[in-house]
Amino acid sequence: MIRQVSPRSTGRLLRESRGMILPLSLIFLLVLTLMGIAAIMTSTTTQTMFGGIKRGDQALYLAEAGIDAARRVIAQTNPNFDQVYLSSGVLPGL
């Protein structure tokens, strides 16, 4: 059974729900603000995490470059260095 709504009851419904827009909009604004804060915190955490990985990779590459440079300098002053280096520090013939 469908109930008919009279114009008089429609006006009463509008008057009773008139003050709901402000609280609903404030709640919606609060939800959007919390979502924005969460997005900013996530991006900051991700940037910090990957920034540390980048610095670690740079340190590794610099250390390897230093090892190669030292190896070249030592190899220039010691002719048997390549044999010792390739045999993990064991002198050939001993």
For residue range 16-45, list pLDDT tens digits in order.
666 788 888 999 999 999 999 999 988 888
pLDDT at 51 over 80: no
Each residue of 64-81: pLDDT tens digit?
Answer: 999 888 888 777 777 776
The overall longest dimension of the chain from CA atoms, in Å, is 111
**Would residue 9 count as lying in a domain?**
no
**Would residue 12 count as lying in a domain?**
no
**Would residue 6 count as lying in a domain?**
no
**Would residue 91 count as lying in a domain?**
no
pTM of the model: 0.41
**Cβ–Cβ < 8 Å for 46, 53:** no
Q: How many domains does the chain have?
A: 1
Domain range for 49 is: 19-86
Contacts of 92 (CB under 8 A, 6+ apart): 80, 83, 84
